[in-house]
Copies of this chain bind each other. A is one copy, B any other.
């Protein structure tokens, strides 16, 4: 039985407590929050759970195996580091940290202390994303050409993070999971319509060495809610509409074929193909429940989580790069990768060693 301490009982914390309470093999041991009124809510709903206003109490409790941190982003690094150093496994809300540098420190600490570090990118655990991953890994789409996401609604304006850290972060995590490739460059545009607030609307393009181009359109200022991803490949294409009550993922046997036939050199060398459409049945287990069980299994088996610190770090790197590019009105920010030398540069260096993310190096 993995005993879990939850830090933060604001917007997301209650979901974590409810979820871990229902996760086989897990148990909520204690909840910490600075606000005693929130702890009263815990006490009323979960009489068996200890409550405290002091995070240190969670660290000091030897019966607690893991800590889930659901506090504001700027506290993630300090609280997470303390948890790992106290020998606890760590579940961190997304985005992992404010800066990539902080994320790297947490990744290193988790490796050194041999603790599980899971970043809560819940979307990766949905039936839809898991199924799309299977389909793509099986090669059904052929060569991937693009990923195009729209994620807009009349949304909760946040005062500490921009719409990139709030919404685009989902696409960054999904892309990392589906493509297994890190972008080489990011170009973003966006704006804050209300002075003194973070950007509330952004358009972000990610360039990949493999030729994939990814784009996400995120906004807190749309009159309708859209959650749609198109993925185009040489053989098939996917439409994933998360607002559909069922048949969220549709695979279209549509595409183009291309000839290099010199005879047709002056003609349009592109042909169209249009076949059946197919919507696979998706597992219906709630993603957070899947993720909770996965966390327990990783702790028990020592396995690396699907959304480990490495993925969390790469997402933070993209948030940083997109934010820099957005403030430079779209100027490409290059995400460089070398062993032992991960830097980011705004200089448009487009050749040489920008290389791939070495996932195993993380």
Contacts and interface: CB of A to CB of B under 8 A. Distances in A.
Contacts of A272: 154
B213 A247 contact: no
A350 interface: yes
A232 B220 CA distance: 11
Contacts of A47: 47
A152 B203 CA distance: 16
Q: Give the interface size bracket for A toward B.
A: 35 or more
Q: For the complex formed by this chain, how many copies does it contain in all?
A: 4
B157 A268 contact: yes
A224 interface: yes
Given A194-B258, A201-B146, A268-B157, A217 B219 contact: no
Interface stretch (A78-86, A183-191, A298-306): A183-191
A147 to B, nearest CB: 11
Interface in A161-192: 185, 187-191
Contacts of A111: none
A348 B328 contact: yes
A9 interface: no
| Interface of chain A: mostly helix, strand, loop or mixed | strand
Contacts of A146: 191, 193, 201, 219, 221
A187 B329 contact: yes
Interface of A: 47, 145-146, 148, 150, 152, 154, 156-159, 185, 187-191, 193-194, 197, 201, 203, 205, 207, 211, 213, 215, 217, 219, 221-225, 230, 232, 237-239, 243, 245, 247, 252-256, 258, 268-270, 272, 274-281, 325, 328-332, 348, 350
